[in-house]
Amino acid sequence: MELITKNDIERLDAVHSETCISIFIPTYRLGEEVLQGKDLIKLKNQLKVVKKKLALEEMGPRKIDALLAPIEELLGDSEFWRHRLDGLAIFRSDAIFETYTLPIYFKEFNYIANGFYLKSLLPMFTGDGMFYVLALELESINLYQNTRHTVTKVNIDDIIPARLEERVGYDHEPKSLQYKSHADERGRTLYHGHAESDRDRKNELARYFRAVNKGLITLLSDQNPPMLIATQEYLFSIYKKENSYKNLFDRPISCNLSETDKFLLHEMAWEKVEPLFDAERKEKMGLFKQYEGTGRTTSEIKQVLPAALEGKIDTLFIENQADIWGIYDLEKRHVRIDEEPLPTSVSLLNMAAVKTFLNGGQVYLLQKDEMPNRYSKVNALYRY
């Protein structure tokens, strides 16, 4: 599975073309919906709507067909539909065609403007229920990307050594025979033998875990979701010293991985991270309510947009699946709000969300009754 990164968001946000098409559909992993091809039906329906919109913009049939051809080809690509998660995002302009399969549920939606609609992707980065679990064994290592309701294996085969021998060499085998190991009643690995052999073993493990960490950082360097390590206490203590990922949980999930499938692992991990996500959101919401009316907050899109562009927003709360349409004049710093989307309108909430994120702020997509100020679709907490 390919992870979307902050660099991807920045790159897509930089695309400005006369016609940029964004399509979002929910997808299914298993079950009757997959057998009935409901994912394909949803995409076909969105394509029909997009074609009508483009025709209303007086785009010719040939140009429409050429623009949408890569998306049409997906409909006949059985391999593409074989490995779906919870949502599919498609981005198409005259120069770009990209798809992202993500563990996020999307409402069916399409957007045509001079830039892409990226707000719906931001829960992947805000800590809003996303976390990693690294299942760490000497003979195999697996990375899982999780949300509260989903667990997805990430392909890391080409960035880390798969086994200890690949990193330290096969000469470690004879040395390992100089001591014995066994597990206690809690499944923890205990080592004993010559002190020199123990030191050699720890050094080998440290070298191995250093290589694993180096590979993972190439994939996760611009991300910050919590990461939990599922392993034995002894291995965790060594891995922790080699880790450079900035949001590693301080304690491991202690379990016997040979008897723990990814779903049980997900359940054990969520139990640990749920309070963290609740605390983070509640803290920011509490600060918004505490400072509301003092100049440190705003619920006016005309104030939010300039602040987002200038990197002044610490946290942005946006009503999920809502929009405010209009135009922002960058030179005049003027916001025009349209009651209904016009041919020239763009999503002002999309712009505010993406700019806040790219400037280092947090973005939360919430239901209306969860918003700190429920009378507005956007609430912003400024930086100090």
- Assign domain 1-118 one CATH number from 3.30.960, 3.40.50, 2.50.20, 1.10.10: 3.30.960
Is there a contact between 125 and 6 (Cβ–Cβ < 8 Å)? yes
Pairing, β 227-231 against β 131-136: parallel
Tell me the two tokens of residue 20. Answer: 């940029």
Crossing angle (nearest 10°) for helices 301-309 and 348-358: 30
Q: Cα–Cα distance between 132 and 225 in angstroms, integer?
A: 7
Tell me the two tokens of residue 164. Answer: 């200890």
Q: Cα–Cα distance between 348 and 113 in angstroms, integer?
A: 12
Cα–Cα nearest to 209, from 232, 184, 176, 179: 232
Residue with tokens 């394909």: 40
* Residue-level pLDDT, tens digit, the chain, 384 residues: 456 888 999 999 999 999 999 999 988 765 555 555 678 899 999 999 999 999 998 899 999 999 999 999 999 888 888 767 788 999 999 999 999 988 788 899 999 999 999 999 998 887 656 899 999 998 889 999 887 767 888 989 889 986 675 555 433 343 433 434 555 555 555 555 555 667 778 899 999 999 999 999 998 877 788 999 999 999 999 999 999 999 999 999 998 898 888 889 998 999 999 888 888 889 999 999 999 999 999 999 999 999 999 999 999 999 998 999 999 998 888 999 999 888 889 999 999 999 999 999 999 999 999 999 999 999 999 998
CATH architecture, domain 131-276: 2-Layer Sandwich (3.30)
Is there a contact between 1 and 87 (Cβ–Cβ < 8 Å)? no
What are the boundaries of each domain within the chain? 1-118, 131-276, 292-384
Topology adopted by domain 292-384: 60s Ribosomal Protein L30; Chain: A; (3.30.1330)
Residues in the chain: 384
